[in-house]
Structure 1
Amino acid sequence: MHLGVNCGGRLGTNVIAVDGEFPSFLPKEVKEIKDPFARTLAQRIQRLPVKVGFSESCIMSSCVKPRFQHDTDPVVLLHCFDSSCLEWRCTYPLLEDAALETWAIDILGWGFSDLGSSSNPYSNFRGEREYNFSLSSDFLPAMRHPKDIIFTRCFGKITSRTPLWRTHIKRPMILVGPSLGAAVAIDFAVNFPEAVEKLILINASVYAEGTGLLTKLPKFLAYAGVSLLKSLPLRLYANLLAFDDIPLSKCFDWANVGRLHCLLPWWEDATVNYMLSGGYNVVNQIKQVNKKVLVIWGECDNIVNSKLAMRLHGELPDASVHQIPDCGHLPHVEKPEIVARLIADFARPGAPKEEQEPIVLNSVDGKNTFLFNVLRVENA
């Protein structure tokens, strides 16, 4: 199933791509994107004012708000490394069709949040000023029960700057993290367990120990590397790795979708400072997750070794693994109907446990084999 032709059988009118006005804060290159689902979701991106504990001013954080709200737990979608909420362009409308209150949020520093205001603590990054790469869970201030949670990432450590959030939490989230977003989700769930009802991890990149030796790069080399990161050839190559059997024309368009946020003027500074700060290292937190977890894995992942799904399943106290055949690193882009169905079924309270068939996989060292239950989800 290729998204450019069909993004599922239950899309409804809310995802038909009708050319309209894009938000003025998006780079003008958004108009060149052909993917109708990306265009439709881009038109729904908003910036919401968020009061953060380390600044007297608000930060305008970008997200896609749900069209409706329910009393059930909201589904909150994170994105991958150096990406944006547009990553969810095809799965998001299917989740809305399933009557889930769904938020797609941009991790601060990537996506389309405003880091350019002169009064903003994230502005003027160049020079000796240190930059704390942050993820705010309260860039959803319009929720009926807003959560005042701030993660400040500084040299690999997390601090909470706004302890009053505990008095505001009323509906724990179902937090969904793909790739590096899975590390963010685990980090969040361990530090703020009251805020999370369940976790969904998609092709999780959780065993890399931060940014490693990149923290020792001289700044000029870091900026050179980051400049390469946003180049179209590298993005094309990344797409060829990430997706299983994608036409070149679609690969080119999806590369433009994936690098759109890189065209904002503060992207390079934010990414360099994230790189030099050490990034995310959650290896020692995985066993501390005390939530029910759904692990989704595209079996043709060329970026994260599929054997790590077995390791993750074994280290999480309460997890099930669902494998998607003929699918690469980003199932929520490549197989949106399947991912939306898995999320919807997992999100519903009291949903019956699905029967799983045993799958034998080689261990990480390749010497032994282990048996564990994986549900292979076939194409709808």
Structure 2
Amino acid sequence: MATRNKYITAGGHRHRYIETGTASETMLLLHGISSSLDFYEQVIPELSKSFRVLAVDFLGFGLSEKPANKKYSLELYADLINEFLEKTDSHGPSLYATGHSMGGKYLLASALLYPQTYSKLVLSNTDGFLHIPFWARGISLPGVKQVLKNVATSEKMSEKMFAAAFYQPDQVNRDSYLKNLMVARNPEAFDTVMSLNRNLKQLDMNRTGLRGRLKELNIPVLVIWGDKDQYISPKTARSVHTELPCAKLEIFSDCGHSPMLEYPEKFSKTVREFIFSKTNYPGNQCS
């Protein structure tokens, strides 16, 4: 991806982002866990033909700052997204956003805590609809954490875990695959994942009450899911589609957890057509 990295301060921390395209419509791209904005690199060139594209590394990931012992929460990430949008002069009636996996959950939090921000949303294989047992916090205890860190960031295990994000990993652009694999192996980003684990209650859509507020989202939402997703079951897509009052569901065949890397042309086309469509979906109450 030839677009030059930029840096901006939000919440007192340095964030990497990229900006490309000159259209009046803005598309914000938010990545998933153990990832970075580079996860979108195969779709950014195509999307930038229709949008001013902004993609940002979340706090704790990619090339953004990774503060130790940060108290992460859905509210924190929503605040950071809002500050980022303000500082990049992106607020307005033509602002759209796409969130993948963890980024989808943070995008929903952003849309609920800062209503009227977005005109349409795209959620790709989104997190936020799974029950996370409270005991899961235990994996972030010091002794357990170090063992897991050694395993998860090892070359063999990290590649195995990363490959599981795709139905056919050998079909993914090799340069993108290797670049994003190295991001997934970053030990500092693993520390962020452990910090997220320690703050499960503040990052859970159910426990924070945000899932119960999804009916407030009266803007069109496109839900994209791979039918072979091994990380978050395609069954979850039905829940997402049902709980959002104005949603359209697109299932990608023979696709895993990462449609923007597995089917970049189809992903870009599907997103673009949804954003510029005037359709109100049957049975839903779109604004």
Q: Is the 8 A contact 1:48 1:141 kept in 2?
A: no
Q: Which residue of structure 2 lines up, in the alignment, with residue 353 of structure 1?
A: 279
3-state SS of 2:109 partner: helix
Question: What residue identity is the alignment partner of 1:111?
Answer: G
Question: What residue identity is the alignment partner of 1:90?
Answer: Q
In terms of Rg, which structure is larger? 1
Q: Which residue of structure 2 lines up, in the alignment, with residue 237 of structure 1?
A: 160
Q: Give the whole-Å Cα distance in 2 for the aligned partners of 1:336 and 1:107.
A: 22
Q: Is the 8 A contact 2:123 2:222 kept in 1?
A: yes
Q: Percent identity?
A: 20
Q: CA RMSD in A?
A: 2.9
> 1:61-210 alignment to 2 at 5 Å?
61-70=15-24, 72=25, 74-97=26-49, 99-115=50-66, 122=67, 125=68, 130-133=69-72, 134-135=76-77, 136-137=80-81, 138-140=83-85, 143-145=88-90, 169-171=91-93, 173-210=95-132
Any idea what the Cα deviations from partners look like across 1:331-366, whole Å, max 9, x if unmatched? 111001111111112222xx243999xxxxxxxxxx
What's the TM-score, normalizing by structure 2?
A: 0.82
**Against the structure 1 CA distance between its residues 245 and 270, is the aligned structure 2 distance closer, same or farther, given a 3 Å change threshold?**
closer
Q: Is the 8 A contact 2:104 2:123 kept in 1?
A: yes
**Against the structure 1 CA distance between its residues 303 and 342, is the aligned structure 2 distance closer, same or farther, given a 3 Å change threshold?**
same
Q: Give the whole-Å Cα distance in 2 for the aligned partners of 1:341 and 1:248.
A: 19
> 1:1-380 alignment to 2 at 5 Å?
40-41=1-2, 44-50=4-10, 52=11, 58-70=12-24, 72=25, 74-97=26-49, 99-115=50-66, 122=67, 125=68, 130-133=69-72, 134-135=76-77, 136-137=80-81, 138-140=83-85, 143-145=88-90, 169-171=91-93, 173-210=95-132, 212-217=134-139, 218-247=141-170, 254-260=177-183, 262-263=185-186, 266-278=188-200, 280-283=203-206, 284-285=211-212, 286-348=214-276, 351-353=277-279
Q: CA deviation at 1:89?
A: 1.0
Any idea what the Cα deviations from partners look like across 1:246-300, whole Å, max 9, x if unmatched? 3299679725423336537x43443322221116322434444332110111122
Q: Give the whole-Å Cα distance in 2 for the aligned partners of 1:203 and 1:171.
A: 26
What's the TM-score, normalizing by structure 1?
A: 0.63
**Against the structure 1 CA distance between its residues 303 and 113, is the aligned structure 2 distance closer, same or farther, given a 3 Å change threshold?**
same
Q: CA deviation at 1:86?
A: 0.5
Q: CA deviation at 1:172?
A: 6.0
Q: Is the 8 A contact 1:91 1:339 kept in 2?
A: yes
**Higher RCO, 1 vs 2 (CA within 8 Å, ≥6 residues apart):** 2
**Against the structure 1 CA distance between its residues 236 and 184, is the aligned structure 2 distance closer, same or farther, given a 3 Å change threshold?**
same
Q: CA deviation at 1:186?
A: 1.2
**Against the structure 1 CA distance between its residues 219 and 182, is the aligned structure 2 distance closer, same or farther, given a 3 Å change threshold?**
same
3-state SS of 1:291 partner: coil
3-state SS of 2:223 partner: strand
Q: Is the 8 A contact 2:223 2:247 kept in 1?
A: yes
Q: Is the 8 A contact 1:110 1:261 kept in 2?
A: no
Q: Give the whole-Å Cα distance in 2 for the aligned partners of 1:355 and 1:183.
A: 22
Question: What residue identity is the alignment partner of 2:70?
Answer: Y
| Matched length | 271
Structure 1 unmatched ranges of 5 or more: 1-39, 53-57, 116-121, 146-168, 357-371, 373-380
Q: Give the whole-Å Cα distance in 1 for the aligned partners of 2:123 and 2:116.
A: 18
Is the helix fraction higher in 1 or 2? 2
